[in-house]
Amino acid sequence: MIDRRAGPNKDQGNQFVPSDQAAPPARPKILATYPMPARVVEKLRSFADLTVLDGETDPQRVLDRCLGMDALICTLMTKVSADFVERLPESVRILATYSVGYDHVDLKAVDGRGLPFINTPDVLTEATADIAWLLLLGAARRGWEAQSMLREGRWIGWEPTQLVGADVYGKTLGVLGFGRIGRAVARRAAGFGMKVLTFQRRPGSGEPLPDHVELRGSLDEVLAESDFVSLHLPLSEQTSGWLNAARIATMRRGAIVVNTARGGLIDEAALADALGSGQIGAAGLDVFVGEPNVSETILAAPNTYLLPHVGSATSSARDGMGLSLASDLEAFFAGRPMVSQVDTAA
C-alpha cells in the first residue's frame, strides 16, 4: 500500500515510499519553563518531544530556547509582554500558561499574532478556596503570632488575655468576584454560619445563589457591609490597586482582608497603614505585588498571615493543571477542539 501522507522521500526522488517504511508523523516539540509533576511530564512525553527548563523566568532566555519549538508552556513567572510575543519564533504555534490567571500575558498581542492560548480553569478552584479559608482563619485567630510564640519558646502558659482574635462564626463575608473560586469560598461560609454578600455584573447568570448569599448593587456596597472580605477579581487595568486608601476608609473598622487572587488588586502601602491604625483588623495574603519579593511595608505590618502563593498547591490541583494543558495541547496538534482556550479577543 502507498502512504501518500508520508510525502516524497528525498533519497528516492519523487517516488512514494511504502507505509511500512514511512516516517512516523512528526512529534510536536514543547518547551516548558519549569519542572512539572511526573504525571504531567509523562502525558506530554506520550505525544511530544518535551524540553523542560529549570525554572527559567528571564524572557530573553525563554525566547532563545523557543527556537524550533511548536509550543511554549510558561507560568505566571514569565512576563509575556507585547515585545515577547512579537519576538516569539515563528515555529511556536500555541502558548499555554500553567495558571488560571493570565494577567502576565498581553492578550492583545497574542490575539494580534493569532496565537491560540490556553490556561487551567476549574481544576484549582477547590484548592484555592481552601487556602482562602486558611488565610481567613489564620488572620482572624492570629495564627502566625501564635505559631511564632510557641516555636520561639515565648509561651509561658494559658492566659485569659493571650492571643485573643476575631470571631468568624456568624459574621458577614464579602466575596469580591463571584466566579468559580469566589463561589467555592462562599459555599464553605455556610458551615461557619456566615452571611455572604456579593455583587454580580449580570445577576441571575450562572448557578442560582445559595440561601446564605445575598446580592448587593456594587462591589463598594459589599465592601462597606462586610466583616471579612475575600478578593477574587481578575487583575486588569481596571482592577489594579482596587483596594486603595479611599475604599479601605469605607470598610467596617477592624474588618479582615483576604487575598488569594493577585497582589496588584491591593494598594499594599494603604493596606499596611490601615493595619497599623487598626482600620483593618488583620490581613491574610497569598499573593503580593512584585512576587517573589514581598514589600517591607507588608512584612512589617501588624496582624498579617502571609503565604507564598500556594493557593493551587495540592497534588490534585497541580496535576490537574498540567494534565488539562497536556490534553489541550494533544488535541491542538491532532487538529481537535480544545477545552480551555482563552478568548483573546474578549
Catalytic residues: 262, 291, 309
Q: Which is nearer to ligand DGY, 194 or 287 (CB)?
A: 287
> What is the rounded CA–CA span in Å between residue 326 and residue 15?
37
Shortest distance (Å) from residue 319 CB to ligand DGY: 13
Determine the length of the chain.
346
Nearer to ligand DGY, 107 or 255 (CB): 107
State yes or no: residue 325 binds ligand DGY (CB under 6 A): no
Place of cell 486558611: 134
Which residue, 192 or 305, is less far from ligand DGY as judged by CB? 305
x/- letters, 32..51, toward ligand DGY (CB under 6 A): --------------------
Q: Could you say which of 198, 230, 259, 312 contacts ligand DGY (CB under 6 A)?
A: 312
Over 227-290, what HEC string results?
CEEEECCCCCCCCCCCECHHHHHCCCCCEEEEECCCHHHECHHHHHHHHHHCCEEEEEECCCCC
Of 94, 234, 130, the C-alpha closest to 176 is: 234
Q: Please tell me whether residue 311 adopts helix, strand or coil conformation.
A: coil
CB-nearer residue toward ligand DGY: 6 or 310? 310
Q: Give the residue among 197, 198, 189, 143 at the shortest CA–CA distance from 170.
A: 189
DSSP 3-state of 40: helix
Q: Which stretch binds ligand DGY (CB under 6 A): 94-102, 135-143, 175-183, 295-303?
A: 94-102
Q: Is 182 in the site for ligand DGY (CB under 6 A)?
A: no
Q: Does 324 bind ligand DGY (CB under 6 A)?
A: no
Angle at 189 between CA 235 and CA 259, to 5 degrees: 25
Alpha carbon distance 250, 185 (integer Å): 23
Planar angle of CA 174, 262, 316, nearest 5 degrees: 90
Site string for ligand DGY, 254-293 (x = CB under 6 A): ----------------------------------------
Report residue 61 as a C-alpha cell.
532566555
Using CB under 6 A, pick the residue from 73, 85, 96, 99 that binds ligand DGY.
99
Site string for ligand DGY, 112-151 (x = CB under 6 A): ------------x---------------------------
Residue 78 within binding range of ligand DGY, rule CB under 6 A: no
320 binds ligand DGY (CB under 6 A): no
- Closer to ligand DGY by CB, 124 or 194: give it: 124
Interacting residues of 154 by C-beta distance below 8 A, sequence separation 6+: 148
Using the minimum distance from each CB to ligand DGY, give the nearer residue, 180 or 247. Answer: 180
Question: Site residues (CB under 6 A) for ligand DGY?
Answer: 76, 99-101, 124, 311-312
